[in-house]
């Protein structure tokens, strides 16, 4: 096939898509690109090839992609077709005569409200009882609503902490799934239903209805009441800074802390209102370099003692503490171990039992802590769709700033409940005359020091991720950073306790571990480095961890 005939076929597909696209913005973008491609503009041809090279597929957390035209992007056509397939799946698995219901939420990203309304209309058009949340609200509120309303499904329109141009579609299932995110084999069944819709129906043939309910304030009221009611210590004054990172967290956070009687925070005013352009950050992700700079400046100016930040849909939590004359962001693993030990201590005081859980790429320190204190522990694949399903779960986390501190309320990570738990920990330490630094010293003395770091390589094409993993499987390293590789676990076939996943785990000497996997939400190859040290004093353990981690980082960089 010649390049000219290939471009002709591409333009035919593009114009067919334009004819069924109800969104004037994406239609105009595609028409402009098509005109340029017709004139053999290479950049336009490349962009259209990428937009029409396949269909946006579900990853770790559902659909995510750039808001633009074409089947490989997030847009009204893809959202509507996806929702029509979801409707078929939900109706197909319902018992005869059973009412099928769903609840829909959305955040403040570009077209989130439009995609949410499309989702509501398509589900309602299929005869499903639909509740749409009243305005842009955090993802944890939607996850709560699925259980609170006993809905058969939940859809959250969000791209969480992805780049500003992105949006996404996160799917939860009720009933036997308990409000957790979708996992196999249900995901395969949903995909098949979507493919059937795409193959048989045009956009204008999808049934729509405005017969859905817009929720009142009772759902948010219930979430606030349940979250604030979990505070386990008397409130004491804390001078803290908060930022929602241009997202939707502040309204709900403010209501929760008011209900709990907690001192209001000092706000990063430049980031407090929802703004889909995220003007003060390159990436709206608290983990990214520079994302917390305004929070640091606010904390320094106001003499704060703690910084807490949510990502744009408020399902993640970041924290930073004073460090000399500046500030240091706690890693997701550090905060996870702090919250986990605090919850374990509270459970011991209250005589409760339960299981702790973390994803395979998160710190092994939680396992050590849980087992030594007599609690159960289970590792899972990456994603709270797995963590939330651990039986008798008491606490779960993953290193990407995700924490589930109240599994009886939601079955997903919840940055607002985690924020309250973090404040509870600080207030509890203050009441006992101790500091967070002393708390971390005690953890390292009792369980060992667990140091961790992460590397990632962003790629231009997703097939580069596949090639990178293939190369490592074909020619695995014998050492990394001068540390001998003792074993390699290839989880592509699964294990006794884990479903199949594209993950390689290398166990090294000196208590080190390296894990490599493609990201499920971004075009990145991610490498996780962990070191455990239980010999010597706390200072010696930390020194050994830092030195070994530096060797691992250098070795992993060379490997990539």
Alpha carbon 31 to chain centroid, angstroms: 34
Distance (Å, whole) CA 295 – CA 276 = 19
Which helix (H) or strand (E) segment holds residue 145: the answer is helix 139-148
Q: Which residue is associated with the tokens 């995609």? A: 115
> How many CB atoms lie under 10 A from the CB of residue 323?
10
Output the pLDDT for position 520: 67
* Partners of 507 in the β-ladder: 487, 513
Take residue 227 and report the two structure tokens written for it: 């979250």
250: three-class secondary structure by DSSP: helix
Output the pLDDT for position 3: 62
Provide the whole-model pTM: 0.94
Contact between 306 and 426 (Cβ < 8 Å):
yes
> How many CB atoms lie under 10 A from the CB of residue 458?
10
User: CB-based contacts of 363: which residues, under 8 Å, 6+ apart?
Assistant: 333, 336, 337, 399, 450, 452, 530
Output the pLDDT for position 519: 79
DSSP character string of 453-494: EEEEEE-SSTHHHHHHHHHHHHS--SEETTEEEEEEEEGGG-
Cα atoms in the 13 Å half-sphere on the side-chain side of 52 = 21
Q: Tens of pLDDT along 29-86?
A: 999 999 999 888 899 999 999 999 889 887 666 899 999 999 999 999 999 999 999 9
What domains lie within the chain, and their CATH numbers? 1-53 (no CATH), 57-215 (3.40.120.10), 217-447 (3.40.120.10), 448-559 (3.30.310.50)
Name residues of the chain where pLDDT drops below 50.
Answer: 1-2
Comparing C-alpha atoms, which of 79, 83, 85 is closest to residue 197? 85
Output the pLDDT for position 1: 37
> Where in the sequence numbering do the catalytic residues fall?
160
User: CB-based contacts of 118: which residues, under 8 Å, 6+ apart?
Assistant: 76, 79, 80, 83
């Amino acid at each position: 096939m010649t390049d000219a005939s290939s471009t002709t076929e591409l333009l035919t597909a593009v114009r067919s898509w334009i004819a069924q696209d109800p969104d004037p913005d994406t239609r105009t973008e595609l028409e402009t690109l098509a005109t340029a491609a017709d004139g053999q503009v290479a950049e336009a041809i490349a962009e259209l090839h990428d937009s029409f090279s396949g269909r946006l597929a579900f990853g770790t957390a559902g659909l995510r992609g750039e808001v633009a035209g074409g089947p490989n992007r997030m847009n009204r056509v893809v959202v509507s077709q996806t929702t029509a397939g979801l409707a078929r799946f939900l109706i197909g698995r319902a018992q005869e005569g059973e009412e099928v219901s769903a609840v829909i939420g959305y955040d403040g990203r570009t077209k989130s409200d439009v995609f949410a309304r499309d989702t509501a209309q398509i589900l309602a058009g299929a005869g499903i009882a639909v509740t749409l949340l009243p305005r842009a609200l955090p993802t944890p509120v939607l996850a709560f609503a699925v259980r609170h309303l006993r809905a058969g499904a939940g859809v959250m329109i969000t791209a969480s902490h992805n780049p500003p141009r992105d949006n996404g579609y996160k799917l939860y299932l009720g009933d036997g799934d308990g409000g957790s995110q979708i996992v196999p084999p249900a995901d395969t069944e949903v995909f098949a239903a979507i493919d059937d819709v795409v193959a048989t129906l045009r956009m204008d043939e999808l049934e729509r209805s405005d017969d859905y309910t817009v929720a009142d304030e009772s759902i948010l009221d219930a979430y606030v009441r349940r979250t604030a009611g979990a505070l386990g210590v008397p409130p004491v004054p804390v001078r803290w800074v908060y930022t929602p990172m241009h997202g939707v967290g502040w309204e709900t956070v403010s209501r929760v802390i008011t209900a709990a009687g907690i001192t209001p925070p000092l706000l990063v005013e430049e980031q407090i209102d929802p703004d889909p352009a995220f003007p003060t950050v390159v990436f709206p992700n608290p983990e990214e370099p520079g994302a917390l700079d305004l929070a640091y400046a606010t904390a320094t100016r106001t003499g704060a003692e703690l910084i807490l930040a949510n990502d744009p849909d408020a399902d993640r939590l970041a924290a930073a503490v004073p460090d000399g004359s500046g500030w240091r962001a706690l890693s997701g693993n550090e905060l996870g171990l702090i919250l986990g030990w605090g919850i374990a201590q509270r459970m011991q005081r209250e005589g409760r039992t339960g299981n702790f859980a973390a994803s395979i790429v998160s710190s092994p320190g939680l396992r050590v802590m849980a087992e030594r204190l007599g609690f159960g522990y289970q590792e899972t694949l990456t994603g709270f769709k797995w963590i939330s399903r651990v039986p008798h779960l008491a606490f779960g986390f993953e290193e990407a700033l995700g924490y589930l501190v109240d599994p009886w309320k939601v079955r997903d990570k919840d940055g607002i409940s985690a924020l309250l738990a973090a404040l509870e920990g600080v207030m509890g330490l203050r009441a006992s005359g101790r500091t967070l630094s002393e708390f971390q010293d005690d953890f390292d003395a009792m369980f060992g020091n667990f140091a961790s770091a992460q590397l990632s390589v962003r790629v231009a094409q997703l097939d580069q991720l596949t090639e990178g993993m293939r190369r490592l499987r074909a020619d695995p390293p014998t050492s990394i950073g001068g540390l001998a590789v003792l074993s390699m676990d290839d989880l592509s076939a699964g294990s006794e306790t884990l479903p199949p996943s594209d993950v390689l785990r290398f166990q090294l000497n000196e208590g080190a571990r390296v894990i490599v996997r493609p990201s499920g939400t971004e075009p990145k190859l991610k490498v996780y480095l962990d070191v455990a040290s239980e010999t010597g004093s706390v200072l010696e353990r930390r020194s050994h961890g830092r030195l070994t981690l530096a060797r691992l980082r250098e070795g992993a960089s060379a490997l990539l």
